Copies of this chain bind each other. A is one copy, B any other.
Amino acid sequence: MTVQWGDCDPADIVFYPNYFRWFEISTTELFASVGLELPAMFKAEGILGMPILDAGATFKRPSRFRDVITLESGIESWGTSSFRVAHKVLKGDVEAVTGHEVRGWVVTDENHPSGIRAVPVPDHIRSRFD
């Protein structure tokens, strides 16, 4: 990935919420890499999305316009109805940012007041990442 002009702020470094935007993309690509294209998976599993429960990042080095960065992401752990993704942003071999997302697994449920219900992540999804 290349850092673009609109990703950067007046200090000429990446405006930090963009890293979370990239974490979200990297989670999508992680699922795609094991054959789970999200639009098809959402439809097949009866879910609207994978709601974010927690997210965080530690920023070690800034990146600038036209810097080339690499995102590395993997499932760190599985909860009952959630999972945690670990993210790293690398500039060359150097860790620039580390972070995580915890996402829930919820199905739509018209009988539930909120319209959704947390359920266990299906085994056929989890097993793709083993």
Contact = CB atoms under 8 A, between A and B. Distances in A.
Contact of A38 (B5, B24, B58): B5
Given A20-B20, A38-B65, A57-B56, A25 B6 contact: yes
A54 B56 contact: yes
Contacts of A45: none
Interface in A32-77: 37-39, 48-49, 51-59, 62, 64-66
A11 B59 contact: no
Interface of A is mostly: mixed
Nearest to A104: B59
A53 B12 CA distance: 16
Query: Assembly of this chain: how many copies?
Result: 4
A28 interface: yes
Nearest to A25: B4
Contacts of A90: none
Interface string A1-30: 000111011111101111011001100100
9 contacts: A5-B10, A5-B15, A6-B17, A8-B9, A51-B59, A54-B56, A54-B59, A55-B56, A55-B59
